[in-house]
Amino acid sequence: MTKIVIVGNGMVSYKLCEKLVEKNTTASITVIGEEPRPAYDRVHLSAYFEDANADKLSMASRDWYEGNGIDLITSEKVSKINREKKEITTHNNNTFAYDYLVLATGSAAFVPPIKGVDKKGVFVYRTIEDLEMMMAYGKKASSAAVLGGGLLGLEAAKAALDMNLKTSVVEFAPRLMPRQIDEEGGNLLKQKMEDLGIEILLNKATSQITGEGTMTGMEFSDDTKLDVDMLIISAGIRPRDELGKEAGLEVAERGGFVVNSLMQTNDPSIFAVGECASHNNMIYGLVAPGYDMAEVVAEQLVHNTDEYQFDGFDMSTKLKLIGVDVASFGDPFCDNTPHSPISISDTQAGIYKRINVSEDGKTLLGGILIGDAEDYNMLHQMCVNEMALPPHPVDLIAKGSGDSGAAIGVDALPDTAQVCSCENVSKGDVCCAIKDDGVTDINGIKKATKAGTGCGGCLPMVNNILEDTLKKMGATIRKEICEHFPYSRQELFDLIKVNEIKTYKELLNKYGQGSGCETCKPAVASLLASIWNDLILKEATIQDTNDRFLANIQKGGSYSVVPRIAGGEITPDKLIAIGEVAKEFDLYTKITGGQRIDLFGATLNDLPLIWEKLIEAGFESGHAYGKSLRTVKSCVGSTWCRFGLHDSVGFAIEIENRYKGLRSPHKLKGGVSGCIRECAEARGKDFGVIATEKGWNLYVGGNGGANPKHAILLAGDITKEEVVKYIDRFLMFYIKTAEPLQRTAPWLEKLEGGIDYLKQVVVEDSLGIGEQLESDMEVLIANYSCEWKEAINNPKIRKRFAHFSNSDQDDPTQKFKRERDQRFPVAW
């Protein structure tokens, strides 16, 4: 029996094992790894800070290896290769014979030779064990610096933020991510990081780490200093190739086992894959090329064929760094290629896009996307497949997110287009699964092709291919809520309304099956609230935690309290009342960007007591916990501002009070600005109103957040009465037709006909439903009542607000600390 020994047990090693199993190998497989656990997902390593659950990162259990006849040995380091005897020796003096040896030793963190780098408090960011040591040390620290402003460095910065540490990033280059983005993109990313509270230090060469045994700071070559308790080094990687030199394996000048296109070293019996392999003097630091290498080796070991070869890899990548989309594709700089660069920059929205077009204007060479990377998949495919560009290439990035992809369409992609780089799945593979195997949903695509099972970045495009192919086959595409309800959200909306269904149980008995699930329960709860505006707590058993307790659950298990402050206007007496409540219950207090005051750290037991006092002072629920209207932000308008044209505060209060409590598919935010200077940022809201000389302009379909969108003009120079009428119609039409958890911006983008169709429905009343939409809104407004007032006055409901069924005491596991004269949760 052929003996295969794999040294290393990372992601690429696991993928090789998986491919060998899939190809029905008859060989004996032994995997030897240094780490104490089976392979885990290093790409999402920072997720470990959320709950310290290593199982969520696991790629396979020990049982999987055993069940597939693979001998997995952990916590053991291979120390020697004897090529003549074809055996390896471990640090425990155990020997293993091989017919074929695969080196998947990966890489180690590069630690620069800086004076003092061995001091206590200095860490690398590489393994779960590294993170565990950082988390333990971080409990005693107040600040952390990250050495390196690349991909891993910014991930490490997120880790430091998650530990509630004052965070600095130190980068030698003049910009962040210098290998992926240009100077303008780097400036925008720097601003994004600084907005999150991360200090960015560029052009800094670290000369030494100070402190007696334990680090206390960093000194730089420009004679500046940084006082910091902890340092996380993320300055790059070094291939783990130490086994090669002693064994006579060729090692590249910059490190890594030298391999050919079959992934063979200079010994045909020894292969190298992943970050320890140097192919054409290139080390690949992404997991997708490692998976390709694994496929090449598996084909040779099982089928003895050299048909599959590794010919390099496109290093295009899309990432979300601390909530910020960052992507680059093709040649992002084109430093040595004649080209015409096209870029747009919106610093207010935090968006920068650049594409490089060939001199003849026919093909896309590469590009950079920051802040909005939804078009990455389509742009990447256009680049790779040299697809023809539209007459005005700027349209690819200047239109709203998703427009270019929709305009070009996945139909234009060739079948050979690689839509999933992690698993090397082509468009043709996806289409075959649909046409030949009868696959009709995303989960089926995942099972049949493995597309989307890696990083998941390809799923939007895979879904578009699925829908496009099904349509061509004449299939009716139904967006059913879940297996318990064979209806779309819009169909359920009509069934509930027409049949006057008031409870989940009634709907399930009449139109559903089974017992329901965590998908349909909150979706139906949202529908019932949107249609009837009844007390949300009457259906508490199908709500998520936030709606169940009328408060957002926060880090540490405490809750936040957000009273409504319509339009941002508040009397001194009400300000005092909030201050007195915050002081009495020792709540962390913060003014939000939506002109409200957040009170954090409330225990579940205290929520009714807090709201009792707030309601007595004249406050109502601010619905910060609900998929509902949050705020209508205002500027001071004509009341105080010398540029103000109309009373924006008064109008904002009127609008917010009209729609307060309105439940919808996702949260809603509004804004009213007294002039075009836009101090209320109305065009960054789901609906926004801006004063003009002749009246008001109404904008819809905008939002802030991770993918900011500017709202689009729906009607111009209209009266206050027309504004209210059109908002009524717009909101009710959105509530009726949107998908679950779909904000107005993506809803409008996917609405067939877009803003032109919406104008016809809302302004021109082309469907003749205008009056009905207005009437539906009036019913919801008439049914409004403050949820918290109802909750505290109802003894049965009030009893729910307790940590324990048999005691009134607070949760003893909740711990707090004091900083800046306020109470903060202790990091979990």
Total residue length of the chain: 828
The CA-CA-CA angle for residues 376, 382, 385, to 5°, reads 130
**786 annotated as ligand-binding:** no
Single out the residue of 424, 421, 423, 429 nearest to residue 465, CA to CA.
429
User: Which residue, among 665, 682, 751, has the nearest Cα to 403 in the 3D structure?
Assistant: 751
| Cα-based torsion angle of the residue sequence 208, 209, 211, 212 in order, rounded to the nearest 10 degrees | -80
CA 688-694-697 angle, to 5 degrees, is 15
DSSP code at position 120:
B
Integer Cα distance of 121 and 210 in angstroms: 11
DSSP sequence for 43-55: TTGGGHHHH--GG
Instruction: Using alpha carbons, select from 372, 370, 407, 367 the residue that is nearest to residue 391.
Output: 407
Which residues are 109's β-sheet partners?
237
User: Is the separation of the CB atoms in 298 and 424 below 8 Å?
Assistant: no
383 is in an annotated binding site: no
How far is the C-alpha of 380 from the C-alpha of 404, rounded, in Å? Answer: 12
Q: Are 123 and 231 in contact (CB under 8 A)?
A: yes
Q: Do 44 and 57 meet the contact criterion of CB atoms below 8 Å apart? A: yes
**Is 679 labelled as part of a ligand binding site?**
yes
List the beta bridge partners of residue 718: 696
d(C-alpha 40, C-alpha 495), whole Å: 46
Phi, psi of 329 (to 5 degrees): -145, 160
* 432 marked ligand binding residue: no
What distance in Å separates the CA atoms of residue 239 and residue 10, rounded to the nearest whole number? 13
CB count, 10 Å around CB of 225? 10
Structure tokens of 463?
């879904």
Residue 577 in contact with residue 619, Cβ under 8 Å? yes
Nearest to 776 by CA among 717, 716, 731: 731
Pairing of β 277-279 and β 257-259: parallel
Q: Which residues pair with 88 in a beta bridge?
A: 81, 96
SS3 596: coil
Please state the residue numbers annotated as binding site for [4Fe-4S] cluster: 635, 641, 675, 679
Please state the residue numbers annotated as binding site for siroheme: 679
Please state the residue numbers annotated as binding site: 635, 641, 675, 679
